[in-house]
Amino acid sequence: MFTPCNRYVLVERAREQDSDGEILIALPEGSFRNESRYEKVQIMAISAEVRPPLAAGQQVVVLSHMIEEMDFGEGPSYLVLENHVLGIVG
């Protein structure tokens, strides 16, 4: 299990699928200008420095371009800094 530090929030991105349930092909970033600037993600874990009201299990809106991807061989993990969380959904 990965535990974020230094005001980082571990999030899970929604998988993009077409209407048949097949995974879409990812194109290089910046290929199209109609990409959403914002993304709804689910908080999986927070660092000890992150202040309430953020907590694991919540869905939040973040700036898409500020999500950092990392992969240590077990699949990608996504991190975003606490101050790039714009709001809580629901």
Decide if 21 is inside a domain: no
Domain assignment present for residue 25? The answer is: no
Residue 78 belongs to some domain of the structure:
yes
Looking at the domain assignment, is residue 1 inside a domain?
yes
Structure tokens given for 81 = 């800094």
Output the tens digit of pLDDT for each of the chain's 90 residues. 789 999 999 999 986 544 456 667 776 766 555 568 999 999 999 999 999 999 999 999 999 999 999 998 888 999 999 999 999 998
Counted domains in the chain: 1
CATH classification of the domain holding 73: 2.30.33.40
Q: Tell me which residue has tokens 């999986």.
A: 44
Q: What is residue 17's predicted lDDT score, i.e. its pLDDT? A: 46
Domain-embedded: residue 57: yes
What is the Cα–Cα distance from 65 to 68, expressed in whole angstroms? 8
Strands 76-81 and 85-89 come out as unpaired
Is 27 a member of any domain?
A: no
pTM over 0.95, yes/no: no
Domain, as residue range, for 55: 1-14+35-90
